[in-house]
């Protein structure tokens, strides 16, 4: 079961709350993959329950590292990361990860059924849970049209499915435990406008009523975020809503101008 993968941490937590609200805070977080170079430097960030927060910045700014640390794929060097006011190290690891749904840019699919690609070998995940998650993201119709439905065999890397269908399967996978916190690493690959609209609708449904952390690559998709956090070389440069940051004419406004020119 991939959720039980130990990765780089010791499973020392015992806290298994019946309900996680989804408040997240990073308090003076320092992190380095090796001791010479800190990837995150003194990060302070508070995300309220149900808020949508976008992380913005160049490659290497530290966006993905924040996600890896929240899931405890690595341990921080200094500081604390808390969920609902408790250090993430106090939570039982499997329980913590079930409550954080992660959608990565590259959709990893292997040659097996849709059901197996969603359950990832966990016997806890029933077909009923999969259908419920499919309803949450609006994917039931497309699965019901496939021969064998959940037993439809996906070829290696999902080659028999469209880009949009592969993305929907990754959304179902993230939602199957009905997590309170959703982490979304936006896909950078270009898709046609119809697929983009389908993905956006599914994303909106998933984020409703949850704490959402979005790693944003295209600034046009995050203009309605409650908070935009601009990272540069491991430090927070700016925090605010889209309009505030544009008016401030700082780092975010420059990024926005550059992207606008690129797509104009």
CATH number for the domain whose boundaries are 21-99+209-264: 3.40.50.300
- Quote the pLDDT of residue 200: 84
- Is 70 exceeded by the pLDDT of residue 10? no
pLDDT tens digit sequence for 72-110: 989 999 999 999 999 999 999 989 999 999 988 778 888
What 3-state DSSP class applies to 38? coil
Contact 120/1 with Cβ under 8 angstroms? yes
The H or E element that residue 79 is part of is strand 78-83
- Is 70 exceeded by the pLDDT of residue 112? yes
pLDDT tens digit sequence for 43-52: 999 999 999 9
Q: Looking up tokens 């070389």, which residue turns up? A: 233
Prediction pTM value: 0.87
What 3-state DSSP class applies to 96? helix
Q: In the predicted model, what is the mean pLDDT of residues 122-151?
A: 92
Q: In the predicted model, what is the mean pLDDT of residues 14-28?
A: 94
What 3-state DSSP class applies to 3? helix
Question: What is the phi/psi pair of residue 87, to 5°?
Answer: -55, 135
Angle formed by the axes of helices 193-207 and 127-137, nearest 10°: 110
Pick the closest to residue 222 from 41, 57, 69, 81 (CA basis).
57
Q: In the predicted model, what is the mean pLDDT of residues 190-201?
A: 78
Domains of the chain, residue spans: 21-99+209-264
Contact 197/116 with Cβ under 8 angstroms? no
pLDDT band at 261 (very low <50, low <70, confident <90, very high): low
Contact 183/102 with Cβ under 8 angstroms? yes
- Is 70 exceeded by the pLDDT of residue 6? no
What 3-state DSSP class applies to 247? helix
pLDDT tens digit sequence for 143-192: 999 999 999 988 766 677 888 888 899 999 999 988 999 999 876 566 77
* Alpha helices (H) in 63-182, listed in sequence order: 63-70, 93-98, 114-119, 127-137, 140-145, 163-175
Gap between the Cα atoms of 164 and 189, Å rounded = 11
pLDDT band at 247 (very low <50, low <70, confident <90, very high): very high
Name the least confident of 50-54, 126-130, 191-195, 240-244. 191-195
Question: What is the phi/psi pair of residue 241, to 5°?
Answer: -80, 165
> How many angstroms separate the first and last alpha carbons of the chain?
45
Gap between the Cα atoms of 214 and 220, Å rounded = 13
- Quote the pLDDT of residue 190: 65
């Amino acid at each position: 079961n991939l959720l039980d993968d130990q990765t780089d941490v010791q499973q020392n937590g015992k806290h298994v709350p019946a309900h996680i609200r989804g408040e997240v805070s990073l308090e003076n977080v320092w992190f380095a993959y090796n001791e010479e170079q800190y990837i995150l430097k003194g990060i302070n960030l508070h995300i309220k329950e149900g808020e949508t927060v976008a992380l913005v910045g160049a490659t290497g700014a530290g966006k993905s590292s924040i996600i890896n640390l929240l899931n405890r794929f690595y341990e921080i060097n200094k500081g604390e990361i808390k969920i609902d006011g408790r250090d993430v190290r106090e939570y039982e690891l499997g329980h913590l990860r079930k409550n954080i749904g992660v959608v990565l840019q590259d959709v990893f699919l292997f040659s097996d059924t849709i059901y197996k690609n969603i359950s990832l070998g966990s016997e806890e995940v029933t077909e009923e849970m999969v259908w419920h998650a499919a309803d949450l993201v609006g994917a039931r119709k497309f699965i019901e049209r496939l021969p064998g439905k959940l037993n439809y065999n996906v070829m290696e890397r999902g080659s028999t499915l469209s880009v949009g269908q592969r993305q929907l399967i990754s959304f179902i996978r993230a939602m199957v435990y009905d997590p309170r916190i959703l982490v979304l690493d936006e896909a950078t690959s270009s898709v046609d406008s119809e697929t983009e609209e389908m993905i956006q609708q599914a994303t909106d449904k998933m984020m409703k009523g949850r704490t959402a952390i979005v790693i944003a690559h295209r600034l046009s998709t995050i203009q309605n975020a409650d908070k935009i956090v601009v990272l540069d070389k491991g430090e927070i440069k700016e925090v605010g809503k889209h309009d505030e940051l544009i008016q401030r004419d700082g780092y975010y406004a420059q990024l926005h101008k550059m992207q606008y020119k690129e797509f104009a």
